[in-house]
Amino acid sequence: MQPTHLSSLKTGAHSVINCVGQDPVLSERLLCMGITPGQTIRVDNRQLFSGPLLVSSPVSSIGLRHADARHLQVTPLAART
Structural domains present in the chain: 4-76 (2.30.30.90)
List, for residues 12-21, the tens digit of each pLDDT value.
999 999 998 8
Q: What angle do CA 43, 44, 49 make, to 5 degrees?
A: 80
Stated pTM of the model: 0.84
Residue 58's pLDDT is 86
Q: Spell out the residues 6+ positions from residue 21 whose beta carbon is closer than 8 angstroms to its own.
A: 27, 30, 71, 72, 73
Alpha helices by DSSP H, listed for 1-72, are 24-32, 66-69
Residue 8's pLDDT is 94
